[in-house]
């Protein structure tokens, strides 16, 4: 159907989204300078819409820190230089501008959201705040693609385990995890989308545990020991 991309930067994925065949693409970018370039890069596509919003979990005036890599790593949070220097070298985001942060569920309505079933959030450590600001609208999506952090590269940012807990509590199950240094990308599907797979895996695990619980431990060990010569012969045949 459609995808909402929060933290759009210049809309680098616009050509990819068009090739995939999304009927609708909604871009949301906080940085006014990056937003200007975003509009230019996406104007070729009639089904792409852009909004210059800083999304969070509260409506308030905040500092938005501008990174010196053309704004690519700009964030609601300031970098922790001890960690970020290990990852990105001498990247700096000490400069900031004041912006009004908004909740997603305050600026969009159900009629608009119904056009989109995929959500992509890449806001440099503030993903959890954006998710919380979506309110009940988070339940409108079937797939969520999120940037996640394993260390607080940005001061005060949420870690992967916090995001994972939030997604699980809203009936999303993680189906993919890509790790790059201290960050990564996680893909979640709504539980109903993978219910058959989830039920089957749960059935296998539950029954395996039940079967093992009924096996005498020493009988099991003797059984494995008896099969070791056969396992060795198969291994030699296949790999030597």
pLDDT tens column, 67-92: 999 999 999 999 998 888 887 888 88
**Domain definitions of the chain by residue range:** 2-195, 200-239
Give yes or no for residue 228 having a pLDDT over 60: yes
Coil, strand or helix: which one is 180?
Answer: strand
Beta bridge partners of 5: 27, 120
Separation CA 54–CA 106 (nearest Å) = 12
If we measure between CA atoms, which residue out of 61, 96, 102, 103 comes closest to residue 75?
96
pLDDT confidence band for 25 (50 / 70 / 90):
very high
Q: What is the pTM of this model?
A: 0.78
Give yes or no for residue 123 having a pLDDT over 60: yes
If we measure between CA atoms, which residue out of 187, 138, 151, 15 comes closest to residue 77?
151
Coil, strand or helix: which one is 154?
Answer: strand
CA triple 152-158-161, angle to 5 deg:
100
Coil, strand or helix: which one is 118?
Answer: strand
Return the minimum-mean-pLDDT range out of 34-38, 160-164, 190-194, 209-213. 209-213
Reported as type and span, the H/E element at residue 56 is strand 54-56
Domain 2-195 in CATH 3.90.1150.10? The answer is no
If we measure between CA atoms, which residue out of 86, 74, 55 comes closest to residue 183?
86
Residue 224 confidence (pLDDT): 59
Residue scoring higher pLDDT (227 or 140): 140
- In tens, the pLDDT along 168-212 reads 999 999 999 998 878 899 999 998 765 555 555 555 544 554 455
Give yes or no for residue 240 having a pLDDT over 80: no
What are the Cα distances from residue 212, in Å, to 55, 198, 199, 205, 227? 50, 21, 20, 11, 18
Separation CA 141–CA 187 (nearest Å) = 12
Reported as type and span, the H/E element at residue 232 is helix 217-239
Q: 24 with 46: CB under 8 angstroms?
A: no
pLDDT confidence band for 239 (50 / 70 / 90):
low
- In tens, the pLDDT along 45-54 reads 999 999 999 9
């Amino acid at each position: 159907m459609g995808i909402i991309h929060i933290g759009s930067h210049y809309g680098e994925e616009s050509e990819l989204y068009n090739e995939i065949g999304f009927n609708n693409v909604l871009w949301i970018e906080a940085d006014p300078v990056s937003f200007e370039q975003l509009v230019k890069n996406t104007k070729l596509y009639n089904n792409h819409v852009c909004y210059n919003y800083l999304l969070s979990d509260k409506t308030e005036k905040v500092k938005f820190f501008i990174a010196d890599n053309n704004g690519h790593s700009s964030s609601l949070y300031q970098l922790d230089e001890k960690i970020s220097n290990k990852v990105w070298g001498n990247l700096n985001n000490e400069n900031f501008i004041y912006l009004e942060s908004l909740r997603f569920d305050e600026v969009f309505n159900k009629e608009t959201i119904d056009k989109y079933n995929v959500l992509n959030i890449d806001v440099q450590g503030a993903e959890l705040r954006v998710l919380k600001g979506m309110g009940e609208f988070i339940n409108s999506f079937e797939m969520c693609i999120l940037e996640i952090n394993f260390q607080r590269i940005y001061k005060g940012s949420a870690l992967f385990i916090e995001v994972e807990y939030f997604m699980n509590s809203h009936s999303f199950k993680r189906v993919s995890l890509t790790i790059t240094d201290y960050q990564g990308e996680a893909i979640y599907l709504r539980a109903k989308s993978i219910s058959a797979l989830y039920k089957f895996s749960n059935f296998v695990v539950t029954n395996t545990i039940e079967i093992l619980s009924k096996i005498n431990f020493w009988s099991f060990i003797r059984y494995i020991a008896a099969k070791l010569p056969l396992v060795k012969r198969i291994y030699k045949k296949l790999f030597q």
